[in-house]
């Protein structure tokens, strides 16, 4: 048995994909599915702010894709939004302040439908939560999970539009987040009465360190598929692609 930590990649079926948007952009991404089964749930991951270094390889998203197909039976689609580059490649287009990125989300959700995968949860981190909140409501999704939501680009009108929406919304807010701490988040999310806010003691906006990574991945699993229970800390068959964090 080996500890699950850092960038260890557990077994999964992985495929580099290209998403085509309605306005002609091409987005680079990866689809990761459980190795031997249809996914029990599907996640579409939206990365942090690209102008501050966020992309599909941002560590929480990378580790979710590396671990959760094996540990929780999730399918995971992650991609670079328009104008974003990472070691996977560059998506065409230009940064759109969360507005034109709505077309990127539409392309990702269309891809999930075309592959006949389960209706997805949209999981955003930081800037990714803005895309989810601004544009997710118009689509057929199972729910939203919001990691470190800053609520800087999402208007009160856009947020309050989710009030009464039957789909679950879970906001996972670090205690020490410099952009939106739990007390302020509770006030802002009050316009969505069914939104569940999880305050994580000692955590910061970027979820640095293995302890915080495990906590945030567990919160995602608890929101989407609580019957999975606690994620294991060890794995008996680690893939060759592993390294220390």
Domain extents in the chain: 2-141+151-161+205-235
For the CA atoms of the chain, what is the radius of gyration?
A: 17
What confidence score (pLDDT) does residue 105 get? 98
- pLDDT value, residue 238: 54
Mean pLDDT of 49-75: 98
* Residue (of 93, 90, 89, 75) closest to 21 by Cα position: 93
User: Has residue 242 got a pLDDT over 70?
Assistant: no
Measure the CA angle with vertex 89, ends 215 and 105; round to 5°.
60
Mean pLDDT of 94-122: 98
Average pLDDT over residues 158-187: 97
In this structure, CATH architecture of domain 2-141+151-161+205-235:
3-Layer(aba) Sandwich (3.40)
Cα distance between residue 197 and residue 201, in whole Å: 13
pLDDT at 244: 36
Residue from 81, 72, 162, 191 nearest 126 by CA = 81
pLDDT, mean over the chain: 95
- Mean pLDDT within 211-226: 97
Strand partners, 41: 74
* Mean pLDDT of the 92-114 span: 98
pLDDT at 1: 80
Average pLDDT in the 78-86 region?
Answer: 98
Q: What was the pLDDT predicted at 243?
A: 40
pLDDT surpasses 80 at 5? yes
The pLDDT value given to residue 240: 39
Q: Looking at residue 87, what is its pLDDT?
A: 94
Q: Which residues are registered as beta bridge partners of 169?
A: 144
| pTM, entire model | 0.95
3-state DSSP percent of the chain in helix, strand and coil, to 5 = 30, 25, 45
């Amino acid at each position: 048995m080996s500890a699950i930590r850092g960038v260890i990649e557990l077994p999964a079926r992985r495929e580099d994909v290209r998403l085509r948007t309605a306005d002609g952009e091409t987005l680079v991404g990866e689809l990761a599915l459980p190795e031997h089964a249809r996914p029990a749930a599907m996640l579409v991951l939206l990365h942090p702010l690209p102008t501050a270094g966020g992309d599909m390889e941002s560590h929480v998203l990378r580790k979710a894709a590396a671990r959760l197909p094996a540990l929780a039976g999730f399918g995971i689609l992650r991609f670079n939004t328009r104008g974003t580059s990472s070691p996977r490649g560059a998506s065409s287009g230009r940064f759109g302040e969360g507005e034109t990125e709505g077309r990127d989300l539409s392309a990702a959700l269309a891809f999930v439908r075309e592959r006949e995968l389960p209706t997805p949860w949209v999981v955003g981190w930081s800037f990714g939560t803005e895309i989810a909140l601004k544009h997710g409501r118009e689509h057929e999704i199972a729910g939203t999970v919001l990691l470190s939501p800053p609520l800087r680009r999402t208007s009160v009108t856009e947020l309050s539009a989710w009030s009464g929406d039957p789909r679950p919304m879970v906001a996972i807010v670090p205690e020490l987040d410099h952009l939106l701490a739990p007390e302020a988040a509770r006030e802002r999310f009050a316009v969505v009465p069914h939104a569940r806010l999880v305050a994580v003691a000692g955590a910061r906006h970027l979820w640095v360190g293995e302890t915080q990574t495990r906590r945030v991945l567990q919160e995602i699993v608890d929101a989407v598929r609580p019957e999975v229970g606690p994620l294991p800390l060890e794995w008996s068959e680690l893939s060759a692609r592993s390294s220390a964090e």
